[in-house]
Each structure stands twice: as C-alpha cells, then as structure tokens.
Amino acid sequence: MSTIETVTGPVEATALGRTLCHEHLLTASEPIRVQYPHLVDHERELQRAVEQVRAAMSHGVKTIVDPACMDLNRDVRLAMRVADETGVQLVMATGIYGQHYTFIPQHFQTRDEDYLADVFVHDIEVGIQDTPVKAAFLKTAADEPGITPDVEKVHRAAARASNRTGRPIMAHSRPASRTGLDQMRIFLEEGVPAGKVMIAHTGDTDDLDYIEELLALGPFIGMDRYGTEIFLPDAARNTTLAALCERGYADRMVISQDACATIDWFPEEMIGQLAPNWHFTHIFETIIPALGELGVSDANIATMLDEVPARWLSA
Ligand SMILES: [Zn+2]
C-alpha cells in the first residue's frame, strides 16, 4: 500500500478520500513579498484560505492538492497553519512555474537539468522551505510561449527528479497551443511512465480530437478550471467532460477549479467581476448537478473526485 505525503505527514492513498486535485491557498507575486511587504496582509490570507477550505470540507472534501511552486509563492507555513486550523489534508508540490511561462531565474539558467533535479529531490526527500513537510509531486508549466529553453529545462529536471524518487508530475498546459503533447514528448523521452503524469488544464478546450490524442499517450488530465469562463465557459467544459465520460475516460480525469483563496495578480474587485464563480465549492453547487443532467453518472463523479487523484498520486 503506497502512502502520500501531506502537510501533516504521510497518509495511506486510500485515506485521501474526496479530493480537489487543483486549488490554491494563495497565489502571489513572490518578489513583492520580499521588497514591499507592506502590501501583504498575512492574517487576511490565512483567514480566506481557512474559509475556502472549510467550505469545501462541508461538501465532503478531505484532501486538497495545491500545486503551488516557485513563482506562485508556495508558502509551506501558511499551508501548515491551514491544515492545523481545519484538519484538511493538504498535498504540496515542488517545481517551477516560470516567469511569464518563459524564463527561470539566472541561478538556474547557468546550471544544468541535474542540478535543478537535485533541488526538487531535496523538497521531496528532506522537506520544503526548511520544514519537514515533503513535496508529494512535481510541478511544471508550459503556456503561450511554448517550450522555451528554460521551460524545457524545468520539464527535463522534473522528469529526472520523478525518475529518482518515483513521484508523479503535474504539468500546467495550454490546450489552445496543444502544449500537452510537447510536454508528454519530453517526459516520455526522459523515461517517465505516462501514468505518472497529469496534464493540467486540459479542460480549457472542447477539442475532443486534441484531448483524445493526448489521452492516447497515457497521462491523466485535469478538467480543473471550472469557473474560469475566460478560458472556456462552464457549459462547454461540461459537454466536453460528458462526452469523455461517455467514451469511457472517467478514470483518467479529475474535476477541480484552479481557484485561489487569495490571488494578488489582479485588484480584488476585478476578480469578482471577471470570475464570480471561481471558488472552492463551485463544482459542488453548480457543476456536478449540471453534469448529472448531461448523463454523467454518480459513479463517474465518484471516480473523478474520490479515486483518480489517489491513483495519480500513488502511480
Ligand atoms: Zn493552478
């Protein structure tokens, strides 16, 4: 029986229970924290994270996977306080998002993939940010700029860290430019078993041909941005997900929101206007009932929320 590292220690994969596979306690601009700390209200951020987590728990959620990493202001101490106050099981990552999905810091630009892999392995084997909390998986990202040299370095380093530790990988993707296929090519070239990979944000497209081409390579996929209608309206996400369930892919998908209890990338009022349904309980309140009307069975929902996350994390 495999165990999964959480903020409060390792748990049996079977004990993860209902899992939101992609939500963020906090997404923030890292340099601002160091240079202009007067712009940051840590207590408010904690409060908002606790509020969102408790709301999700009221729908039976036991575990939240937070793929925060470098450039998203991953904050293990915030996660520890949230776990302590709510009792939720939080699963953390190590990895690099990339500034503008393009560049990594000079420190890593002048060093090779194996040096970067060592950094990731440290978080998996020793702990994150000088704590004993261990990363359960690796995080990478590719987006509009595609596979730049820096983006490729991060993907190869994550693949090597995965090969050394057995830990799975979650890759932020941009279906509009079919990055998932390029990301899978790198992982497979490095020898990562496809079943250890989750291609996040695949639900941002309703192009079933692309999605099936990607699934044929063997990864799990994230239907994980419900409530972000700027990328794809929920109605189109639902018909796509229902079609994939009908074709027998429920056991390869997770449902989530990629919501951030706090995100400092935009003025607060702008988020309320642009994405009023972008929060930790939108799928329970609105999406799952709508999926039911499209013929997605309760068993399919249970597979995507209760089984697939554990299967990916323990792959
Ligand atoms: Zn995310």
Q: What is the pLDDT of residues 111-167, one digit of tens each?
A: 999 999 999 999 999 999 999 999 999 999 999 999 999 999 999 999 999 999 999
Q: Are residues 280 and 257 in contact, defined by beta-carbon separation less than 8 angstroms?
A: yes
Distance 134 CA to ligand 1 centre (A): 19
Residue 280 to residue 46: CA distance in whole angstroms: 15
For 38-89, the pLDDT digits (tens) are 999 999 999 999 999 999 999 999 999 999 999 999 999 999 999 999 999 9
Distance 257 CA to ligand 1 centre (A): 8
Distance 24 CA to ligand 1 centre (A): 7
Confidence (pLDDT) at 45: 98
Distance 67 CA to ligand 1 centre (A): 6
Question: How confident is residue 32, by pLDDT bands cut at 50, 70 and 90?
Answer: very high
Q: Are residues 242 and 224 in contact, defined by beta-carbon separation less than 8 angstroms?
A: no
Token pair of 249 as six digits: 């892919």
Token pair of 263 as six digits: 């995100």
Q: Which amino acid is at 291?
A: L
Distance 195 CA to ligand 1 centre (A): 20
Distance 11 CA to ligand 1 centre (A): 23
Confidence (pLDDT) at 272: 87
Q: Are residues 151 and 141 in contact, defined by beta-carbon separation less than 8 angstroms?
A: yes
pTM: 0.97
